[in-house]
Amino acid sequence: MTEDSFNAKDFAEAFRYFEEDLPRELREKPTTDAVRSTESFMIGYPNVITAIRGYVLRQDALLRLAERDLVIERSRRQRVSKTEVAAANARFQEAKQRFCDFMKHTSYSD
């Protein structure tokens, strides 16, 4: 799993699982226990959650990076204070760390 694994295309595919695949399974099986005991659910559900979580964390880090860069540029033009630059940098570092921790400790189910 790489950072590039968490892109809009894969996010949309993972989200489709909740919009189409899982509801179909729930309609076709007699009980929710019957759905939860299938291999496709036991593997698919955690992988979909991983894909969505990774995408959201990556997007948050990228957003915070863009915000930080904007604040730095405004700082060069003396439109924001050093305190605001430091705060934007801290928000970026926190978001980056959350994504890095996720990448370090997460894997797809087999």
Question: Has residue 74 been placed in a domain?
Answer: yes
Question: Has residue 40 been placed in a domain?
Answer: yes
Q: Is the pLDDT of residue 55 over 90?
A: yes
Average pLDDT over residues 44-50: 92
Q: Is the pLDDT of residue 43 over 90?
A: no
- Rounded to two decimals, what is the model's pTM? 0.86
Q: What is the extent of the structural domain holding 72?
A: 3-105
| Count of domains observed in the chain | 1
Q: Which of 54, 53, 56, 47 is nearest to 108 (CA)?
A: 47
Cα radius of gyration rounded to whole Å, the chain: 19
- Tell me the per-residue pLDDT of 58-75, one tens digit each, with 9 for 90 and over: 999 999 999 999 999 999
Give the Cβ contact number of residue 102 at 10 Å. Answer: 18
**AA identity, residue 90:** A
φ, ψ (nearest 5 deg) of residue 96: -60, -45
Question: Has residue 7 been placed in a domain?
Answer: yes
Question: Has residue 110 been placed in a domain?
Answer: no
Question: Has residue 42 been placed in a domain?
Answer: yes
Question: Has residue 45 been placed in a domain?
Answer: yes
